[in-house]
A and B are shown apart, each in its own frame.
Chain A
Amino acid sequence: MGIQMILEGLSQGNPETFKFLHRQYGPIVLAHILRNNGTRDDYEDVFNLTLTTIWQKVTDGVYKEEGKFKQFFLAVAENKWLEELRRKRAKPSFAIEENFQIADPGEEDLARAVVKDQRLNAIFQVLESWNDTVCKDLIVKFHLEEISLLEISQKTGYDYNNLRKRIFDCRKRLEKQAMELLSVER
């Protein structure tokens, strides 16, 4: 698979690209983790974080192709493992009760939120599972497509204040169902 195909596949979230990268670079990344105080269990997260970070850099246009993709990939993986080691060291020995609050990740931590934040993934999963509901339509338009409430109200004919209340309730419903999903999975 050529570099252009890899970059395109990454930005489109193509499973074939992920499979290729896992087979191509996974064994080297795994060797690195095993040689540096890690286990096989650490591999999945580190590789996933690496993929997500690189995807982000590719789609944001930060990555400049200079014929060094392999090196770039492995360097990012190495940094991700270093970060994980630092986090492990910084982790308190006592358990902290999860409060279901999402942190405010900057650009660098977006990848970590995507890979590690179960709440974020649950909310996304619930939203995806809503088939053609009014709530999904409103949330997608307002939050994901960033269309203003005023514009939505003009297009749909909903009263502005009712629309505002409706989307407020939809968000709460989404969160409630995500919590339920998480409690079932645990």
Chain B
Amino acid sequence: MNHSEYLLTLQDDLRSYLNGTMESEKKKTFEALLQTDQDLMGEFQRHRCLDLIRRSNTMLKAQPDIRQILKEPIEPDFRQYDELHSDKPARRYFSGKLIAGAAIGVILLLIGGAIWRHSAQQTEYLQELADPFMKPYQNIVHFNQQHSDEAYPRAMEEYENGRYPQTVKLLNEYLRSNNNENAFFYTGMSLGMIKKYRQAISPFKSAAQSKSFIAPVAKWYLALSYLELGEAKEAAALLKELENDDSHGADARLLLQKLKGI
């Protein structure tokens, strides 16, 4: 049997190796063989490439169209970008009447908050407002395979599996030597999921103060955390900032409406 014929006998092994069905002992032997046999490695690369084509067929087909479309000139929209990243609402959208109305609303909220601050009934009501919204935010963080053993990717894996205490532990480990708004956000989110709202405030604040796209999301969950703690004034201030937000504006206005009675 020549070498080409020998390679042909390994076709099934290549396939089971690629689709992950090869037994672990056999896998070790096969990987050792791949390292030493250049022809087998070449054949493996060809199989691998076709496997990638199978998994991404539609998108590969679309690549020429996408590249063509991306040549269409566009101009950066700094105005919209800044609005999305602004810590304060865009003032120019507020008329004098609206500002006055908002100010009165805030004052009323402050008065209402002061009167009812210690009322258990009020806290219960605020929690009822927040509970339907206090759901885990989807994972938007992406990692390369090469980083999969690091604390941050492992944390996000735990997050996706709903293991929030483990997520918090790993993210704390990561944040000891890194400053990352998404990591702060998911720390807050995980603490919120295990009802440690007071502890969630600080990481949410860090994420909300960033210039990242996650900032308004962090503000939203920060507001919900305050509601869960019965702190209507702080929640209302944040909800006001989110009134014009694309994603949370409608919900923020709804909650503000319900807070008006307090």
Q: Is A5 an interface residue (CB 8 A)?
A: no
With A18-B65, A22-B74: A143-B50 Cβ-Cβ less than 8 Å: yes
Binding stretch for chain A, among B87-95, B119-127, B137-145, B195-203:
B137-145
CB-CB under 8 A from B141, the residues of chain A are: 79
Q: Is B179 an interface residue (CB 8 A)?
A: no
How many chain-B residues does the 8 Å CB contact rule pick out?
Answer: 56
- The residues in A between 132 and 186 inclusive whose CB is less than 8 angstroms from any CB of B are 139, 143-144, 146, 149, 161, 164-165, 168, 171-172, 174-175
With A23-B74, A27-B80: A127-B53 Cβ-Cβ less than 8 Å: yes
Q: What is the bound-complex CA distance between A147 and B84, given in angstroms?
A: 49
With A27-B74, A76-B140, A127-B53: A56-B63 Cβ-Cβ less than 8 Å: no
Q: What is the bound-complex CA distance between A71 and B251, given in angstroms?
A: 15
Q: Residues 69-91 of chain B: 1 if any A CB is under 8 Å from the residue's CB, otherwise 0?
A: 11110111110110010000000
Q: What is the bound-complex CA distance between A61 and B51, given in angstroms?
A: 20
Q: What is the bound-complex CA distance between A32 and B213, given in angstroms?
A: 10
Let me know if A113 and B52 touch, CB within 8 A.
yes
Q: What is the bound-complex CA distance between A35 and B74, given in angstroms?
A: 16
- The residues in A between 1 and 39 inclusive whose CB is less than 8 angstroms from any CB of B are 11-13, 15, 18-19, 22-23, 26-28, 30-32, 34-35
**Closest chain A CB from B14 CB (angstroms):** 11
Let me know if A80 and B142 touch, CB within 8 A.
yes
- The residues in B between 20 and 61 inclusive whose CB is less than 8 angstroms from any CB of A are 41, 43, 45-61
Going nearest first, the 9 A-B pairs with the smallest beta carbon separation are A27-B77, A13-B62, A31-B81, A106-B145, A31-B76, A143-B50, A15-B65, A30-B76, A75-B140
- The residues in A between 108 and 131 inclusive whose CB is less than 8 angstroms from any CB of B are 108-115, 119-121, 123-124, 127-128
Let me know if A11 and B81 touch, CB within 8 A.
no
Q: Residues 81-111 of chain A: 1 if any B CB is under 8 Å from the residue's CB, otherwise 0?
A: 0010000000000000000011011101111
Q: Residues 205-235 of chain B: 1 if any A CB is under 8 Å from the residue's CB, otherwise 0?
A: 0000000111011000000000000000000
How many A-B Cβ pairs are below 8 Å? 169
Let me know if A64 and B217 touch, CB within 8 A.
no
Interface of A is mostly: helix
User: 6 A-B residue contacts at CB 8 Å?
Assistant: A59-B58, A71-B213, A74-B84, A80-B142, A123-B49, A168-B7
Which A residues contact B (CB, under 8 angstroms)?
11-13, 15, 18-19, 22-23, 26-28, 30-32, 34-35, 43-44, 47-48, 51-53, 55-56, 59, 63-64, 66-68, 70-72, 74-76, 78-80, 83, 101-102, 104-106, 108-115, 119-121, 123-124, 127-128, 139, 143-144, 146, 149, 161, 164-165, 168, 171-172, 174-175
Let me know if B52 and A22 touch, CB within 8 A.
no
Let me know if A51 and B144 touch, CB within 8 A.
no
Q: Is B150 an interface residue (CB 8 A)?
A: no
Interface of B is mostly: helix
Q: What is the bound-complex CA distance between A175 and B66, given in angstroms?
A: 24
CB-CB under 8 A from B46, the residues of chain A are: 171-172, 174-175
Closest to A49 in B: B142
Which B residues contact A (CB, under 8 angstroms)?
4, 7-8, 11, 41, 43, 45-63, 65-67, 69-72, 74-78, 80-81, 84, 138, 140-145, 148, 182, 212-214, 216-217, 246-247
Point out the residue from B67, B69, B78, B143 that lies within 8 Å of A31, measured CB to CB.
B78
Closest to A106 in B: B145
Closest to B140 in A: A75
Let me know if B69 and A18 touch, CB within 8 A.
yes
Let me know if B142 and A79 touch, CB within 8 A.
yes
Closest to B41 in A: A101
Q: What is the bound-complex CA distance between A71 and B66, given in angstroms?
A: 21
Let me know if A105 and B80 touch, CB within 8 A.
no
Q: What is the bound-complex CA distance between A74 and B216, given in angstroms?
A: 12
Closest to B75 in A: A27
